[in-house]
Amino acid sequence: SLAGDADDSDTPPENLEFAKVDGPDWLTVASSGDFSGTPGQDDIGLNIWTVSVSDGAGVDQAQLEITVFQPPGLVHHWPFLETSGTTAVDVVGGFDGNLLNFDDPPGTDSGWTGNGLQFDGDNDRIVGIEGAVSPAGYTISAWVTPDSFGGENWIIVQRDGSGDRSQWGFRQNGRINGGKNDFEGLGTTNLEIGAEQFVAFTYDGLDTIRGYLNGEEEYSRGGNSYSPGFDSIPNTIGAFPDDNFNFDGLIRDLRIYDTALPQPEIQALFAAGPTGSEPPAVVITDLSHNSDSGEIRISWESNEGLLYNLRGETDPSAAEPLDWPI
């Protein structure tokens, strides 16, 4: 809050009114001086904003700065929020991918929806991201909406010239599968056709791989170490490099970290939703008031990994509202 940073000799602090004059869209300022917001990937770095404060008779302004830091470990991020073109931008690592066959045959859809990239399951794929996955450990995550499944359907594939390969996607009609061809894990749950779901794959850099569906662990396999393949063969998104085992459906918010995120952080990614989406609505399940004790009880459905702030006030002119971070 900015309330404690403004001073007026003839006006109580609670009677000062604040307002945002300019600055990043993600940041909001309440009249009480409280400010909040969730920055996106494009907001990483220095954010400059101007706020005004008024006592009802005069107004003053101040310019403030907020620095947004890159999330630890995130090395590549393809939000897939473009609406046209043949380039999928990596907004973190600069490994921009080239779209192949999204307009084949001519006149077909480009694949861009403005909120993800639609793969046709036939020959659509993205190339040009050699060596994106680190052998020292990784997390790969994505939001997917499958339209159909075959024997194998891949989100991303990395391979070396000897034929060794690492791949992360689906086998056996939609069960998550990740790892190398001689050391991989297979989930037990078939993904639902037509529904958006969150998948994640990790390797700790030592000997254990894990796979997650909607934040819950689907498999864990240890006792072997491996290095994802690296060479000049184009790594691909949405298919194998030789254009088979294609993914059919929508992919968005594909991320690669250079470390194995623990399950609580995987669940936090799931709870936050894909880049560009609104936070989940808060559903109040119970609200009761005991007139004798003055006690108020509030219950709601909480989402793993999200921070809630409960605010209460009876008479705004009497005192500042009470806040309880939860």
Structural domains of the chain in order of their starting residue, each with its CATH number: 1-69 (2.60.40), 74-272 (2.60.120.200), 280-326 (no CATH)
Instruction: Encode pLDDT of 184-237 as tens digits.
Output: 899 999 999 999 999 999 999 888 999 999 999 999 999 877 666 655 556 799
Among 35-44, 124-133, 185-194, top mean pLDDT goes to: 185-194
pLDDT in tens, 275-289: 875 555 566 777 777
Report how far residue 222's alpha carbon sits from residue 204's, in angstroms, rounded to the nearest whole number.
10
Using pLDDT thresholds of 50, 70 and 90, give the confidence band for residue 124: very high
User: Can you give the pTM of this predicted structure?
Assistant: 0.66
pLDDT at 304 over 50: no
CB neighbourhood size of 231 (10 A): 14
Using CB atoms within 10 Å of the CB of residue 96, give its burial: 0 to 12 exposed, 13 to 18 middle, 19+ buried.
middle
pLDDT at position 232 is 55
DSSP-based three-state secondary structure for 92: coil
Spatial distance between the Cα atoms of 197 and 173, rounded to a whole number of angstroms: 15
Rounded Cα distance between 150 and 148, Å, is 7
Which residue in this structure is represented by tokens 């689907």?
218
As a whole-number percent, the residues of the chain with pLDDT over 70 amount to: 79
- Using one digit for the tens of pLDDT, what is the confidence trace for 251-271? 999 999 999 999 999 999 999
Q: Which of 135-144, 149-158, 160-169, 237-246 has the lowest mean pLDDT?
A: 160-169
Q: What's the pLDDT at 199?
A: 97
What's the pLDDT at 67?
Answer: 82
Task: List all residues 6 or more positions away from 284 whose beta carbon is below 8 Å from its beta carbon.
Answer: 298, 299, 300
Mean pLDDT of 43-72: 80
* Weakest mean pLDDT among 42-56, 142-156, 270-284, 302-316: 302-316
Q: Report the 3 state secondary structure along 2-38.
A: CHHHCCCCCCCHHHCEEEEEECCCCCEECCCCCEECC
Please tell me the number of Cα atoms within 13 Å of 124 on its side-chain side.
23
* Better-predicted residue by pLDDT, 201 or 103: 201
Which amino acid, one-letter code, is at 191?
Answer: L
User: Is pLDDT larger for residue 163 or for residue 103?
Assistant: 103
Alpha helical stretches, state H, the chain? 263-272
Q: What is the rounded CA–CA span in Å between residue 213 and residue 188? A: 10
Rounded CA-CA distance 184/180 in Å is: 5
Answer yes or no: are the C-beta atoms of 30 and 18 closer than 8 Å: yes
Tokens representing residue 179 in the block: 């790892």
More confident residue, 163 or 24: 24
User: What SS3 class is residue 207?
Assistant: coil
> Of 126, 133, 155, which is closest to residue 143 (Cα–Cα)?
155
Greater confidence (62 vs 228) lies with 62
Q: What is the mean pLDDT of the chain?
A: 82
